[in-house]
């Protein structure tokens, strides 16, 4: 017999596992455990800090992360970045959180998973490749691109 309370606990467990995964990724990203890369800093200095319109229209040199630069310019105030440069990763962390939630929904529908199994499957898929984990938190457009791909599927 399926009780409503059990279904709610199962869903809460799934979200709990994913919440722990996300908090760990955010903590590692914003703590300085993963230092700011040259590309992250350069994109912010040359494009993002000048605002969304500038990021969308000004191309003195190539910027292959235009959508991310626009999003970042809209979401993260320059004063935050001046106090701690790692704040430029906030847009990537937002994209990672949305990716986790979309991937959870996709796997629930495709595989019929729920609860701990669903949370573990999502976190496992994301952690199965160190490059996916790395690029998901960098202040570049990779995480946003992954999210948009999942939404399109």
The band of 89, judged by pLDDT with boundaries at 50, 70 and 90, is confident
Model-wide pTM > 0.85: no
> How far are the Cα atoms of 90, 99, 138 from residue 80, in angstroms, in the given order?
10, 24, 17
Write the CA distances from 130 to 19, 43, 67, integer angstroms: 19, 23, 24
Mean pLDDT of the region 77-106:
84
Given a cut of 60, whether residue 101 has pLDDT beyond it is yes
Higher pLDDT among residues 102 and 4, named by residue: 102
- The pLDDT, as a whole number, for residue 29 is 64
Angle at 32 between CA 26 and CA 38, to 5 degrees: 105
Average pLDDT, integer, range 112-137: 76
Q: What is the pLDDT of residue 53?
A: 93
pLDDT value at residue 27: 67
pLDDT digits (tens, 9 = 90+) for 65-84: 888 889 889 988 888 888 88
pLDDT at res. 28: 67
Is residue 19 predicted with pLDDT exceeding 90? no
Q: How confident is the model at residue 126 (pLDDT cuts 50, 70, 90)?
A: confident
Q: What confidence score (pLDDT) does residue 96 get?
A: 82
Q: Which residue intervals of the chain are DSSP H helices? A: 4-31, 38-46, 52-57, 66-75, 78-83, 90-111, 115-127, 130-137, 142-152
Longest CA–CA span in the chain (Å) reads 64
């Amino acid at each position: 017999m399926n009780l409503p309370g059990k279904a709610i606990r199962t869903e809460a467990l799934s979200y709990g596992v994913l919440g722990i995964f996300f908090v760990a990724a955010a903590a590692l990203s914003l703590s300085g455990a993963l230092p700011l890369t040259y590309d992250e800093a350069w994109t912010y200095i040359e494009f993002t800090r000048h605002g969304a319109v500038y990021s969308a229209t000004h191309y003195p040199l190539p910027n292959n992360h235009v959508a991310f630069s626009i999003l970042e310019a809209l979401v993260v105030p320059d004063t935050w970045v001046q106090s701690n440069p790692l704040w430029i990763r906030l847009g990537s962390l937002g994209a990672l959180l949305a990716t986790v939630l979309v991937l959870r929904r996709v796997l629930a529908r495709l595989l019929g998973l729920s609860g701990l199994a669903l949370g573990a499957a999502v976190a496992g898929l994301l952690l199965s490749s160190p490059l996916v984990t790395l690029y998901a938190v960098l202040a570049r457009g990779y995480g946003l691109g992954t999210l948009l791909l999942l939404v399109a599927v």
